Amino acid sequence: MHGVFFFRKAAGEAGGSSTLRILVATDCHLGYLEKDELHRSDSFDTFEEIFSLAEKHNVDFLLLGGDLFHENKPSRSTLVRTIEILRRRCLHDRPVQFQVVSDHAASLQNLFGRPNFEDQNINVGLPVFTIHGDHDDPTGVDNMSAIDVLAAAGFVNYFGKVDIGSSGIGHMSIHPILVKKGATSVALYGLGNVRDARLSRMFQTPGAIDWMKHESTEDMPLSDWFNILVLHQNRIKGSLDNGINEHLLPNFLDLVIWGHEHECLADPKEVPGMGFHITQPGSSIATSLTSAEAKEKHVLLLEINGMKYRPTNIPLKTVRPFEYAEVANLIEKNDTAAGSGSEPKLPLVRLKVDYSGFLTIHPQRFGQKYVGKVANPQDMIVFSRSAKRRQNPQDNTGGFGELYPNELNQHTVEALVAEINLNMQVLPLDDLDTALHVFVNKEDNMAFHSCLQKNTEEAINKLTSTKVDTDIEDEDAMLVHGLGQFMQAREKGRTQTAASVQSLATSTLEELKCSSDPDPDQDIGDDSNELIETSLMDCFCSSVRKDGECHHEKMARPGKRPAPSATAGGSASSPSSSTRGRKTDLASFCAPAVKEELDDRGTKKVRPSPHVAGRYGAVRRNR
């Protein structure tokens, strides 16, 4: 659309030197299908064309709306090719005609504290400003992305990266980049991709998002600033669960540049009742075979002068041609009359489908839906296979395999926790849900580690900020100390449980031995041994009891082991001998003694000890 949109206040007279020219592009997806020999250069060819258009129209800077890379961890080949293009197109002696007057440290994500074109060590002639999307968002312990690499090297200016926090819904502060060129003043807000459900809740929670306004002066009141917001989210107009409703955005904005949506709707449309317009440039490359992707791809030339702006759609010529049609459209296209006064003839339709690597459907069953609409419903679809099949589909999947990904039925952490009625007190559900998403989709093995570390540090800082006394005996200090030991203790839970059971058995044994044998010189009889054995087994079985039964009780069942006879050291009617198949002798915990006897010849006869090693110590044989 060509024209001029007027906002709340018209700008004063300003010459051409006050016109700020911005070229807007979103969703470049560099590195898409890089393993396919046919498609691997598509995204880079279009990226080169975007820079050519920026030079042709003499723009002041290039503005990217997220998803610069297709993968969260782009390959070395993709990263190198991106840096080569940025170095050739951005580093030259062309003077920059605008200035940034805002606090650089608050709005830009770099360690140098200034835009790259203000660095005396780098000759930047075409500045690039970008936010991150859902494909190249920051992850890991240090919350870094591939865009941080480009920003650290001085090739791009990274903004819109916010720290939400992990307590409750969260909180963020969005600082604008204040750009001035002559009489034109632009406040550029940026918001990189955040999980839609969480961001929607933050928009609906008062005070969760702080939009930092620029200061008002006598020479420059707030009404003279042109406010632009660049964000990368799902755009919806109904439910608030799967995207962001445009009515949730603040009404002080003048123009919203919406990324993530690949359909090209570059013509700005006014949101009723909000006072701002929304432009959706769409992606610069097709990443799915849908009707929305089949539309012509554009970039947006945005010219701002005071409080006026003029958008111009520029078509991209290097995009791979994409034809999308439906059977119904083909029928309607050929639904013409054969002559005057005669009925229209049914058209002949033939669809040729390459099903290499896929399953087929029944052609006649498919054609039954179009009986009476086409002349050949029985053979309107034909399947074919490519002559040369790929040897290893995993290494080179081609274009079709990745253009139709299989989506899994995913469950959120909130749903799983709700099913088991678990009360989460330290780790927020939003952070766990995000960590799961990053671990699965971004292949970040440190996702859960960083989530745990971040929340633990925040909990410790919150406790230490309210602590008065540093003595470990103080209740607050004990909580801090205990929180630091909590995770380690949970990892050692099984080992400590086993050690506690063993310690319980040993301590009980010592107590029973001391109470039953106060005189060390006195021998322990069978009755005493039976008493100690009974107490020890009852204590031990109560510790290791499982499903109402322990190993000791299983061995005491009738039929599992023959009961001792009445002559084998006890009465058959005795409860102790009738309910147990064996008994433990405390003396057997020491080395078994060898009993010496003399045979008929007067020589020593070695007789085995009646104590035999068993599960709970030594077992006395009944003879």
Catalytic annotation on 135?
A: yes
CA-based nearest residue to 121, from 96, 73, 154: 154
SS3 readout for 332-384? HHCCCECCCCCCECCCCCCEEEECCCCCCCCHHHHHHHHECCECCHHHCEEEE
Exposed, middle or buried: residue 414 (CB in 10 Å: 0-12, 13-18, 19+)?
Answer: middle
> How many CB atoms are closer than 10 A to CB 554?
10
8 A C-beta contact, residue 600 and residue 610? no
Strand, coil or helix: what is 209? Answer: strand
DSSP codes, 215-262:
PP-SSS-GGG-EEEEEEE--EESS-SSSSEEGGGS-TT-SEEEEES--
Residue-level length of the chain: 623
- Active-site residue, selected from the candidate residues 135, 260, 298, 552: 135
Beta bridge partners of 189: 229
Closest CA to 399 of 27, 31, 40, 30: 40
Distance CA 577, CA 571 (A): 7
Say if strands 128-130 and 61-64 run parallel, antiparallel, or are unpaired: parallel
Rounded Cα gap, residues 181 and 123, in angstroms: 20
Cα 614 to Cα 114, 525, 585: the distances in Å are 77, 20, 11
Q: In what helix (H) or strand (E) does residue 617 lie, and over which residues does it extend? A: strand 617-620
How many other CB atoms are there within 10 angstroms of residue 516's CB atom?
15
Structure tokens belonging to residue 408: 């899994």
Q: Mapping DSSP to helix (H, G, I), strand (E, B) and coil, where does residue 612 land? A: strand
Rounded Cα–Cα distance for residues 464 and 476 (Å): 8
Active-site residues: which are they?
135
